[in-house]
Structure 1
Amino acid sequence: MYQEIKNAFETLKSGGLILYPTDTVWGIGCDATNTEAVEKIFKLKQRHDSKALICLVADDRMLKKYVKEVPEAAFDIMDIEDNPITIIYDEPQHLAENLIAKNNTIAIRIPDNEFCFQLLRKFNGAIVSTSANISGQPTPKSFKEIHEDILKGVDYVVNLPDEKIGAKPSSIIKLSNDGKVQIIRK
C-alpha cells in the first residue's frame, strides 16, 4: 500500500487526477486547492461546474482548515453515524474557487478507509472525491464497472482493486451555521 500512496501523492502534487478506492465508491480525485485539476475532473466527467463536488479530509483538524466555522453538531453527527456521511458546510476557505458551490458551501467527508486516511495524511490537504463515472451514468459498484474513458482520463489508477469499499455513495446532509439541518441524500 505504501507504493500506491506514494504514487498517488506524487500525481496529486503534480496537478494530476487519480482513480482511487474510498470508503464508499471508486472515486476520481485531485488536489482540492488546484483550480486547473478540479477543472480536469469536470471535463472528464462531462459535468457542468455548477454541480458541486465532494472533498475528503483526514480528520477534524484538517476539516477546520477548510471550513471557517464548523458547527458543533457536525462532530456529534460524525461520532454517532455508522455509515459514511458527507456534510455540506457554509463558508469554505482555502479551496479551489471552482470547487465551492455557488451558494458558498462545500461538501466534506472524513472517510473511514485506511488507504484514504494514509493518503490524506501524506498529502496534508483536502482531496476531491467524485464517483468514477461520466455525469448522468450509473455509479460503478466495483472497479470492473468503471468506464474505459474514466480509466484513460486519469493520470494514475491506484492498484488496490481488492480494497474494501462500500459500493454505495455516502449520505449527504447540509448543516448550516444557523443550526438548520437538511437531508440531501439518504
Structure 2
Amino acid sequence: MKKVAVYKVDKWNPDVEVIKLAAKKIREGCLVAFPTETVYGLGANALDEEAVRKIFLAKGRPQDNPLIVHVASLEAAQKIAYCSQRALNLMKAFWPGPLTLVMKSKEIVPKITSGGLDTVAIRMPSHPVALALIEKSGIPIAAPSANTSGRPSPTNAEAVYDDLGDKIDVILDSGPTDVGVESTVIDVTGERVVLLRPGGLPVEALESFGERVILPEGLNRNERTDEKRRSPGTRYRHYAPSCKVLLWKEGEDWPELEVKKIGYLGIRKPPSSVGDDVILFESLEHYARGLFMALRYLEKRGVEVIVADYPKKEGLGLAIRDRLYRASLG
C-alpha cells in the first residue's frame, strides 16, 4: 500500500520545492490535498478523466456530483468556460475568494469533472498555498473537499488524514483554514443570478455589488432540482458526523433527549443540564470557522447526540444553516 506524503507548508511563504513536487504529482495524475481559505481540497488535474476518477474513488463520491475547478487567473477560467460580462465582473470583484461561478463549459472539460452536465463550476481560491500549487501545476485543478463523502469537511490536515489517509498521494499541511465553510456557489448561465449553495461569501456582499440573487426557495420544484444539480453539496447528505445531529431553533424549547452524553455547539448558551461537551462561538464568523472541527471533536468525545444552535438567515448564518440542515437530514 502506498503511503501518503505529508508536508508542512508555511501559509505565507510556501516552500518552492514542496510546491514543485506537489505540482508534479498533479501533472502525473495523482491526488494532492491542499488548503484553501474555505476548507482543504482534494486536487487532481481537472482535464484528465482518469485523475478525476481517482477523486470519486478516494472519497466514495457519486459521479453525478460535479466538482469545482480551481484556477489561478481570469484567463484560465476563460479557457474552460464561456464567461459572460456579468461573470467577468463578478470575478474581478470577488476573486480570489470564496465564490464559485457556474458557467457553460467548453469541450475541453471532461464530463466526469462536471458531473455529466454542460456547465462547469469554477473559482479562484485566495489561500497562498492553493494559488502557488495551481500556478506551478499550469493546469486547472478539480478539488472537492478532502474528506470521505458525506463527512464533515476538513478544515485542517489532521481531518484529511483521518478520512483519506493513504488513499491519496500528498497532503500539504498549512494549518487550519480561515473561513471554515465551503465557497458560495452561484449560477450565472441565465439572465438572473441564482444561489445554488450558500457559503463563505455572504449573499449580502453580492447584493451590495448590485446583483439581485435568487435563492433556491424562490424557484418552483422542477427548476430547483435542475439548477441545484449544477453545484456540489446540494443533493446528498453532507457534513455529518457518525452521531445524530439535532437543530435547536430560536423560540423553540430545548429538545427532550433520553441519552447520557450530549454535545452542543452554537452561539446561544444551552441549558445547564447539557454537561461538559459544550462549544460556544462568539460570532457567526467564528461559528463558521469552527463548525466542522467542532462536529469532528464532539464525535471523538463519544457524544450520542449533538444539538446545534440553528442561526438566523443573515450573513454567514445562511451557510451555517445549510451545513447543519444537511448534517441533520433536516
Q: Would you call these one fold, judging by a TM-score over 0.5?
A: yes
CA distance in 2, matches of 1:134, 1:162: 20
Q: Please give the root-mean-square deviation of Cα atoms over the aligned residues, in Å.
A: 1.8
For 1:170, the equivalent position in structure 2 comes to 183
Please report how far the alpha carbon of residue 164 of structure 1 lies from its aligned counterpart in structure 2 after TM superposition: 5.0
1:114-144 CA-to-partner distances (Å, cap 9, x unmatched) read 1222222221110011101111111123222
- In structure 1, runs of 5+ residues without a counterpart are none
Return the match for 1:179 from 184, 191, 197: 191
Please report how far the alpha carbon of residue 163 of structure 1 lies from its aligned counterpart in structure 2 after TM superposition: 6.6
Please report how far the alpha carbon of residue 65 of structure 1 lies from its aligned counterpart in structure 2 after TM superposition: 0.6
For 2:325, the equivalent position in structure 1 comes to none
Q: Check whether the contact 2:185–2:196 (CA below 8 A) recurs between aligned residues.
A: yes
For 1:112, the equivalent position in structure 2 comes to 126
For 2:83, the equivalent position in structure 1 comes to 70
For 1:86, the equivalent position in structure 2 comes to 100
Q: Residues 112 and 161 of structure 1: is their aligned pair in 2 closer, same or farther, counting only changes over 3 Å?
A: closer
The one-letter code matched in structure 2 to 1:183 is L
Q: Check whether the contact 1:28–1:129 (CA below 8 A) recurs between aligned residues.
A: yes
Q: Check whether the contact 2:40–2:177 (CA below 8 A) recurs between aligned residues.
A: no
3-state SS of paired residue (2:101)? strand
3-state SS of paired residue (1:90)? strand
Q: Check whether the contact 2:103–2:188 (CA below 8 A) recurs between aligned residues.
A: yes
Please report how far the alpha carbon of residue 33 of structure 1 lies from its aligned counterpart in structure 2 after TM superposition: 0.8
CA distance in 1, matches of 2:140, 2:72: 8
| Larger RCO (alpha carbons 8 Å, 6+ apart) | 1
CA distance in 1, matches of 2:148, 2:129: 24
The one-letter code matched in structure 2 to 1:75 is L
- In structure 2, runs of 5+ residues without a counterpart are 1-14, 199-330
CA distance in 2, matches of 1:34, 1:151: 23
CA distance in 1, matches of 2:152, 2:139: 29
3-state SS of paired residue (2:181)? coil
1:39 aligns with 2:39: no
The one-letter code matched in structure 2 to 1:138 is P
1:81-139 CA-to-partner distances (Å, cap 9, x unmatched) read 38510111113331223112333111100111212222222211100111011111111
For 2:250, the equivalent position in structure 1 comes to none
The one-letter code matched in structure 1 to 2:116 is K
Return the match for 1:125 from 113, 122, 139: 139
1:21 aligns with 2:35: yes
Q: Residues 145 and 85 of structure 1: is their aligned pair in 2 closer, same or farther, counting only changes over 3 Å?
A: same
Return the match for 1:96 from 110, 117, 141: 110
CA distance in 1, matches of 2:146, 2:79: 26
Paired residue total:
183
Q: Percent identity?
A: 27
Q: Residues 137 and 163 of structure 1: is their aligned pair in 2 closer, same or farther, counting only changes over 3 Å?
A: closer
Please report how far the alpha carbon of residue 30 of structure 1 lies from its aligned counterpart in structure 2 after TM superposition: 0.4
The one-letter code matched in structure 1 to 2:170 is Y
